[in-house]
Structure 1
Amino acid sequence: MTEPLRATVLRREDVDLHVLDTGGDGPPVLVLHGLAGSAREFEPTARALAPDFRVLLPDQRGHGRSTRRPADTSRAAFVADAAAVAERVAGGPVRLVGQSLGAHTALLTAAARPDLVERLVLLEGHPAGDDPEGAARIGAFLASWPLPFPDREAARAFLGPDLLSASWAADLAEGPGGLRPRFDADVMQAVIAAADRPRWAEWESVSAPTLAVFADTGLFTEAQKDEMIARRPATVRADLDASHDAHLEVPDAWIALLRGFLAGAGPGPGPAAGPAEG
């Protein structure tokens, strides 16, 4: 049986941040999950990197086992949380990894706190802002879930067969009457609405060596990907044959890219196609 990762709770102002930790003496790697996700979906990534790296997986505010309804859902609050985990749990600079909204947080953290970020990996992240209509659509979808689900089979039947839905179903919490997600729809809408403006200045100011990983059928167009790299040409780009949640769909390809870059190797500049199967 796989041993559980060590858990700790970091108190920052009025928010409790739940952090999973592989432990060990390897270089610290801090991984930030996406919107409506949790640390749990990156446990396979953490286990694959350990023991060569010490991997920290926080539930970001409003998610997972961290404070469910934080008063502050701003981008600055998420950045301050990431910096606090680096300083107070990792004990100093980290190799910072983020997916989707977590990549957005990671990018802003690298810009705001270059002293804490040695290397930066963005999986399906982009400096462009999200439109208000998109935030409203996400909020409406999450609010449409027929809660509580009586069991995980009912949750999977509603959410669908894809791997992200399976991850959501596996992470549901038991409570009165059945199973509920570890987030609230209105909080998720507020969180994504805060990422409503482009952050090109912050992106162009990042000094840490950076790997940008895109999915072939992810959220961004080729023009958007090209603009991101053109604005910071030193960025290493890699592409995976997957959709937005590539870390779940092609884990072997994802880990190969991640491990190589975190160790100081990795693909050369420009597109690098990953294996089609994980």
Structure 2
Amino acid sequence: MSFDVLNPGMLTLLEDSGRVGFQHLGITTGGPMDEHAFYWANRLLGNAPDTNMLEITFGQLQLKANATTSIALTGADLSATLNDKPISPWLTYAIQPNDVIALGMPKQGLRAYLAVKGGFNAPEKLGSCSTVKREKLGGLKGNGEPIKQGDVLSFAPTTQHSEQRTPRWAIPDYDAPLELGVMPAYQHGSFTHDAQMTFFTSPYEVSQNIDRMGYRLSGAEVKSSLDGIISEGIAFGAIQIPNDGQPIVLMKDRQTIGGYPKIGCLSSLGAGQLSQRRPGQIVTFKPMDVADAEVERRLFNRVMFG
């Protein structure tokens, strides 16, 4: 059975954990911008960690259920309702035929995740159904298109429902001041001590120019001694410094290579936190050791995957 898409919202994409092993062919990973919210949604439902779900940016999505199922909603608070009654993120909900799930405008955060018990039926392209519009890969029909009005999101119905909630300690505050750890990147040494101090002591504002490819930030200029570099592979969370000195944080749908100097790189969990910040919000940076990022990830994986 299925959900009927009454309104696709601003941008709703089908995402699993991403397309791995093809960056050498110029194919990016895709996958959820906020891995923390993504994996918690599947954990609440007892799904396999990689199970696909909807990533909803800015809200406005409306779905009508045609069968009984169980859903989890995590991530941003997008003023969600179930049959016109407000519901909160980080919980599971039982869904009955003719129920209508609607999301409004963001109250906190930017991206919500809606998972269904067992996942949605969608074709896999190169081992994943994650949507990357630029590459025409993934999504409901495998062609990289976002969810559209009139689409039918099919799933295996179930009457099994368990009321689950995310522990309070695991629920982020997307309005809280955000300080992100930065690991040194290959061109870190091309930035003078003064340039590095400027970067690590200055606030940066999330600009209007943000998407799944990258987050452009606005603030104190940072300059490298290099005019450019030979294009090289780019990791999720890499922080490029173009000629205007304004940082660009590369996200899940980034190009696979680039030629701007990189002052450092965020951890995947750090980049996920950034992906929940809206234009006008402020972020700051601090130095981070690779070992600290590894510990952070291992602790997260232990909670998520046992």
TM-score between both structures, scaled by the size of structure 1: 0.31
The structure whose Rg is larger is 2
The structure that is strand-richer by fraction is: 2
